[in-house]
Structure 1
């Protein structure tokens, strides 16, 4: 030990003072935050990356911290997230036509969309959801065993809605599926106007991030799923029956999305 003191030019008294000093408030906060991050990552069955962990901290636990801090603490804790595959080629950019303003005063003005994934003993299940920001109603929800462009394209096969040609926005992140030619063409052919938020910024699609965080807590993480069919059936019941028709939403005056739409006539 004496040799180490001499080599490092450290006084023996200073070393023992440092060792006995209580941890600083910053270290305590970092340890507490790391524990919360580990809990979120574990609850997601290891599927959450930095973006969704950050969203769950802010939207689910009301813990406000920078995205960079979450990324740093996840790296130090050795917590990898399952990243969505990114395009290997350059895709045409789509403007952000929403700019974080998700408030709308009639249905079919702004739809938001995103993909989530969840494991079963047979393998992962992927679900794409299209959400009307006016009523929070799920208007499209295909389920598949792979996160292809067909998954997001099928989410736009919505027969019971009336997009306004060139007026209904469909907002997403920059996932390769949403930047694909098939999705963009299908959106425009359906009378939708594509919009994309900033890259790797969960706030630019915050309503969808909040929705998926709630689905994780209320359905996906409550049990372990044996088969893809079992989980797909549960997702159908949750999205179409519970969420759309039964779940009371605080932002809708404690009405369900279907009730809220029924009480609000379509805009002329």
Structure 2
């Protein structure tokens, strides 16, 4: 008995030490149980409140998606505007470069024309000076004076002008022939259209007239049949009249 009492005391001492060594765990368990009891005391959500919460959450998600789509549309529109603006700027720059290049080429051509004129005038002046400064033998058979040269140039230019006038007249005649061809085709097409329209209207009038005659005949036949039926109701002999129908 004395031994059993000492054992019981040892067991109690070990249990107290174990409880003392784990104070945080016991306190956490107690707080957790208290929270569960407090939650159990709280009233639950109704079905309507749950549905409203689900709808609100779905609406929030829809609004967020819609906002993202709107942002994407704005970004795409801005990107498209930048692309269009860049294309227009490039086109404008290209036009400006072409214009400046054309002006440069035009200036070069004009300068070349003026240079050729000046070179020809200088060559002619040098030729005249060289001819006047030297006493060349003059052969009357082969001598050509300056007025004759000018007359030759004038005749050649006149000949070229006549050829150009003839070419322009030929082109004008061909143009007039082409215009007349188109005019004749337009008149023929107009006449054909008028003819076909007149025929279509005449056919339509004939169709309507024939349809009207058929309707009148059908209406008269219906009236005649009704009259024969009334005659049959009163006992008249209408066999011959029916055969006529």
Question: Quick check: which one's helix share is greater?
Answer: 2
Same fold (TM over 0.5): no
| Higher Cα Rg, which structure | 2
Instruction: Considering Cα pairs closer than 8 Å and 6+ residues apart, tell me whether 1 or 2 has the greater RCO.
Output: 1
For normalisation by structure 1, the TM-score amounts to 0.19
For normalisation by structure 2, the TM-score amounts to 0.20
